[in-house]
Structure 1
Amino acid sequence: MFSNRFLFRSFFFKRNKFADAPNVIREVGNVTKDSYSVPDHIQKPPYYHILNKQASTVGNIEIKNEKQIEGMRRSCRLAARILNMCQDVVKPGTTTDEIDKFLFNKIIASNAYPSPFKYCGFPKSICTSVNNIACHGIPDDRALMDGDIINIDITVFFKGFHGDTSRTFLVGNVNKPGRYLVEHNQKALMKAIGICGPGKCFNEIGREISNYAKEVKLSNVRAFIGHGIGDFFHGPPEIYHFENTINMELMQPGMTFTIEPIFSEGSNELELWEDKWTTSTIDGSRTSQFEHTILITDNGCEILTVDD
């Protein structure tokens, strides 16, 4: 989600070595006005009925009991299972709108609700961020091209709890720098998860990710944060993916939150597009993002968004 602490550049496209790449996204495609039908029997979050504002991520961090933790495990496993289905549809010629429809139907068939749908007015059920789109890309009529990379961000609301995860997929024959970017972004996430546990300071997550980005010579995007999650979509704590002294609280068993770093092969500065959702690197460089929801346990942490 957006961090309120950081501003985006105004809307423009800065030309440099990335700007002439054939697969740079320069404008939003046609976003269809689908009226998705969510069956009555599926439990819906409060914002389905009333347009909401972005939830606050500042405040006391919820310590979940065993019943809540089991609810989180169910929703997160479902999110992971549905995300894994994307591999069958992520290929050249498929539009991001087709991916959205495919996943909407899978989520509904699982008796769950696609959490992004109607959240703060978001028009689709997932986010699809291609190449230089860093986050919150809206599915549209652009067909995926050979060599693209695409982040698909899925959250499901299932039996009262949200499960949130994302992955960057390779489309066809991705060049070596693109594969390098995706590989090391995923490794950064796993390194950050590896240091989590009771008594650890939240800012150690950002330090671990920043150090790894420097080691592999990639840019670490600062404008988005991880967040607490549960029966709410976004809440405390704020998870910063860069070295910081902002969140000095300590992790405790029962806390659940997402870690979702974004790496860029060029600039880490972003511009917010006119739709107020889509964000792009200012130089057109590609980005990658991976995300898991985790639980702090008595002895360490558990990745909840895994498909058993």
Structure 2
Amino acid sequence: MAEWKSEEEIGCIRRAGQVVAECHDELRRRIAPGVTTLEIDRFVERLMAERGAKPAQKGYCGYPFATCASVNEVVCHGFPDSIPLQEGDLVTIDMVADVDGWKADSAWTYSIGKPQPAAARLMEAARRAMLRGVAECRAGRRIGDIGAAIVQEARAHGCSVVSAFAGHGIGRSIHEGPEVGHTGIAGSGARLEPGMVLTVEPILVAGDGKVWIDRDGWTARTRDRSWSAQYEHTIAVTEQGPMILTCLQSAAGHAVIP
């Protein structure tokens, strides 16, 4: 079941979202060939602590790190490690910040150095698909509208959507209702209402989208070894439209997708 948030509670989630956005902004300047995902993980945990936040993923269902770091064919939940990133790699860094018990979630795919043309196209397709999904987070629309828009955008770019993983409500808990599928039928599913806070986080791949899980019980990778890209924001459904809570914000006001 969905949990509706007040304006004050959305503001609390937004504060956590600001921490996540600052972490990603810093990573854009730090990720480079030779850097390890374990170094990234430690940096994020330190920066969150400096901002008065905690990494909500660490310890969640036994997960041992502050971030998920998914390289190339890993679609999500990859463990940070000490292997240096190489020129041309793609890495998705997914993180959840907790500020005073309220949580915000965002993932971003980074290219290590200049991406190969196919990788650049995949990243752009994933970014566009996420934004198409975000644009559907309007009062009166339905959950299925989000997935349908994402699939339409992915297909336009010759990509597949990984259907094994979904977005979700978020607030006091990392995962709340409703589940937000990234494939769907327009006009189906729960109706979106003001006060809902959701994540939109489609994973796009160049292959068929089928995945398997490593022996660690977490790391998910494509069966055909095709590469993946993912972008995610935490979104509040408002009367004025979708409000992104995990992007850098000025004191001027909220970021609302027109």
Which TM bucket (shorter chain)? over 0.9
Give how far 1:220 is off.
Answer: 1.0
Are 1:243 and 2:181 counterparts? no
Q: Which residue of 1 aligns with 2:253?
A: none
Greater Rg by CA = 1
Q: Higher helix fraction: Structure 1 or Structure 2?
A: 2
Work out whether residues 75 and 157 of structure 1, in 8 Å CA contact, stay in contact via their aligned partners in 2.
yes
Q: Deviations over 1:58-113 (max 9, x none)?
A: xx211111221110111111111111111122111011111111111101111110
Contact 2:145 / 2:186 at 8 angstroms: preserved in 1?
no
Which amino acid letter does the alignment assign opposite residue 242 of structure 1?
T
Q: In structure 2, what is the equivalent of residue 104 of structure 1?
A: 45
Q: Deviations along 1:21-66, whole A, 9 cap, x unmatched?
A: xxxxxxxxxxxxxxxxxxxxxxxxxxxxxxxxxxxxxxx2111112
- Please state whether the residue corresponding to 2:236 is helix, strand or coil: strand
- Which residue of structure 1 lines up, in the alignment, with residue 121 of structure 2? 180
Q: Give 2:93's aligned residue.
A: 152
After TM superposition, the runs of 4+ consecutive aligned structure 1 residues lying more than 6 A away are none
Contact 2:53 2:97 in 1 (8 A): yes
1:289 aligns with 2:230: yes
TM-score normalised to structure 2 length: 0.94
* Equivalent in the alignment of 1:57: none
Inter-partner Cα distance in structure 2 for 1:142 and 1:247: 44
Partner of 2:130: helix, strand, or coil? helix
Equivalent in the alignment of 2:103: 162
1:95 to 15, 36, 49: 36
* Rounded Cα–Cα distance in structure 2 between residues aligned with 1:202 and 1:269: 23
Shift of 1:244: 4.0
Corresponding residue for residue 82 of structure 2: 141
Pairing partner for 2:7 from 38, 45, 66: 66
Q: Distance in 2 between matches of 1:101 and 1:171?
A: 18
Q: 2:160 is matched with which residue?
A: 219
**Cα pair 1:189 1:261 within 8 Å, conserved:** yes
Query: Partners of 1:114 and 1:286 in 2: how far apart?
Result: 27
* Equivalenced residues, count: 249
What is the CA deviation profile of residues 191-229 of structure 1, one whole-angstrom value per residue up to 9, with x for unaligned ones? 111122111111100000111111111111101000000
Q: Could you tell me how far 1:299 is from its partner in structure 2?
A: 2.5
Q: Give 2:112's aligned residue.
A: 171
> Per-residue deviation at 1:245?
7.9
Call closer, same or farther: CA 1:202–1:280 in 2, change over 3 Å. Answer: same
State the 1:246 CA deviation.
11
- Deviation digits for residues 274-297 of structure 1, max 9, x if unmatched? 000001101111000000000000
Quick one: distance in 2 between partners of 1:228 and 1:154?
15
Comparing both structures, which one devotes a greater share of its residues to strand? 2
Note if contact 1:238-1:247 (Cα within 8 Å) is conserved in structure 2.
Answer: no
Structure 2: segments with no counterpart, 5+ residues? 250-258
What one-letter code is carried by the residue in structure 2 that aligns with 1:128?
A
Matched, 1:124 2:58: no
CA distance in 2, matches of 1:100, 1:142: 13
Q: Distance in 1 between matches of 2:26 and 2:37?
A: 14
Q: Percent identity?
A: 34
Question: In the alignment, what sits opposite 1:22?
Answer: none
Give the Cα–Cα distance (whole angstroms) in 1 for the partners of residues 35 and 111 of structure 2: 13
Instruction: Find 2:202's aligned residue among 261, 286, 289.
Output: 261
Q: Report the Cα distance in structure 1 between the residues aligned to 2:207 and 2:174, rounded to whole angstroms.
A: 31
Aligned to 2:241: 300
* RMSD (Å), alpha carbons: 1.3
Distance (Å, rounded) in 1 between the aligned partners of 2:219 and 2:187: 26
SS state of the match for residue 192, structure 2? coil
State yes or no: 1:208 paired with 2:149: yes
TM-score, with length taken from structure 1: 0.79
